Structures are given as C-alpha cells and as structure tokens.
Amino acid sequence: MPAETPVIEMRHVDKHYGALHVLQDINLSVDKGEVVVLIGPSGSGKSTLCRTINRLETIDSGEILIEGEPLPQEGKELAKMRAEIGMVFQSFNLFAHKTILDNVTLGPREVLKTPKDVAEQEAMRLLARVGVEAQAHKVPAQLSGGQQQRVAIARSLAMHPKAMLFDEPTSALDPEMINEVLEVMVELAREGMTMVVVTHEMNFARRVSNRVIFMADGQIVEEGTPDEFFDHPKSLRAKDFLDSIRGH
C-alpha cells in the first residue's frame, strides 16, 4: 500500500546565518495526524527549523513540501499556504490593538472571506473550547499569559489548519499557566491534529507525541518514540542534554 503523502516534508534543508550553519542537511517528514516534538539545547536550530516550515525563515538550499507541494516563494501563493498552517509563538503575538474576538475573526474574515456573523460564532465556539470565552471583548494586555496563548491557539484553529506549528509555546509562561496551555494542546493532538512542537515539556512529549526529534548544532542527532528517546537515548549529546534538563 503506497504511503499517504506527508503533510510536511523537508529534504536536505540547509540554512546559514552568516558563518553559522544553523540547519544542516535536515530531512524530516511529518504524516497526517502525527505529533512531532523537537527538542534540543538552545541554539540547536529547533526554532529555526519550525519557522522555516511556513517560511518565516527562508532556507538556503533543499526543499520543503506541504502535502507534496513545494513551499511557494513570497507573494499571494505563500500567504495562501501560510493560512493553511497554524503557528503558535513563544510570545503569543496577539494583535495588541484588537479585542480577543477580533483577533480570532481577523484571519477568517480577511483571508477566507467568512461573513462577520459566521466568523464570530465560530470564534466564540473556539474561545469556549480553550476556556477564554468570558474574555472575548477584552484586549490582549488584559489577559494572563496562559489565556493569551490559548487565544493564540484559537486564532490558529479558526483558519482550519492542515497542521500546526508550536514554537516553544509554554516557555514564556509562569509555571502555573503552563498546564492550561498544554491541556489544550493535548486535546488537539488527541483529535488528530498534525503538530510540530518545539518544547522542553517532557511530560507533554511522553503523553502525546509520536516521535521525538533531538537536535544539536543545526543537525538532527537522533529521533525515536518518546519512550525510546527519554529512557534509552543513543547519542552522548542527547544523554547530556536529558541529564541537564532533569537537573542531574
């Protein structure tokens, strides 16, 4: 049986920042419904990798395919593709001058041309799903970090994405708010969303990910199921890294 086309595929991707080789011959494919966690020390290139997938970072060589189609260059085609890939940032990046409701409806109304009332109904449903419907008419600065991040997830979901990218979604949060965001992500994963998650949350990785990819110095050093990786890391780099985040 031929395998289904991967939702995201990277082939021999390279990227430099000046002399720094931040992505080195990256090959990665993410199937529909798969949850892939990218883990690694800071500066390993995991965020950069995540951001190349919707071309917030350009690449020097190699190929990135979304459902088998090459990632378009700048312009309308790229905007269209970006609309189909959700992105959740470390610092939430909600639109500061818009209400929570308008943050969620902006994409559907401007990009998908959804009528206002339909977009608002769906936005309220999504806000309820992530538990912040009571804040719909406030502006982002009035919400806690955890609430803002859940709104950011709702904003992405409103575009009915084929896949979602999470770039350290809980790293800027106070400890007591991390779980409320992770719970939303766990639920999304259970519902079959294709996800690429850059995170240090090992519990999350164990509970929901299908695959853990460990990066260091711009390379994929090893990958495996979460149990394999966390319990029996093969490379020295991964062992050192796991020791350091476990505080041994």
Partner 1 sequence: MGYSELFATYGEKYLQAIFETLSMTAVCFAIAMVLSVLITVMRVSPIKPLRIVGDLYVQVFRNIPGVALLIIVAYALPYLKIMLPWKACVEVAVVLLASAFGSENFMTGINAIGVGQIEAARSIGLTFTQTMTKIVIPQALRSAVLPMTNLLIATMLTTALGSQVPLNPQELTGLVSFITTRETAIGILPFTVSAVAYAGFSVLLGLAGNAIDKRVRVIR
Residues in contact with partner 1 by the rule CB under 8 A: 54, 56, 74, 76, 79-87, 89, 91-97, 106-107, 110-111, 139, 141-142, 152, 155-156, 159
Give min distance, CB of 133 to partner 1, in A. 20
Nearest to 206 by CA among 31, 39, 27: 39
Using CB atoms within 10 Å of the CB of residue 57, give its burial: 0 to 12 exposed, 13 to 18 middle, 19+ buried: middle
**Residue type at 163?**
A
Tokens representing residue 167 in the block: 């770039």
Please count the CA atoms within 13 angstroms of the CA of 85 that sit on its side-chain side: 27
Q: Would you mind telling me the total number of residues written for the chain in this entry? A: 248
Q: Residue 57 or 222: which CB sits closer to partner 1?
A: 57
Give min distance, CB of 90 to partner 1, in A. 9
Q: Residue 46 or 237: which CB sits closer to partner 1?
A: 46
Give min distance, CB of 138 to partner 1, in A. 10
Q: Residue 152 or 221: which CB sits closer to partner 1?
A: 152
Asked whether the beta carbons of 3 and 19 are under 8 A apart, the reply is no
Q: Residue 54 or 199: which CB sits closer to partner 1?
A: 54
Give min distance, CB of 103 to partner 1, in A. 9
Asked whether the beta carbons of 145 and 173 are under 8 A apart, the reply is yes
Q: Residue 159 or 202: which CB sits closer to partner 1?
A: 159
Give min distance, CB of 217 to partner 1, in A. 25
Q: How far apart are CA 120 and CA 14, in angstroms?
A: 41
Q: How far apart are CA 248 and CA 115, in angstroms?
A: 55
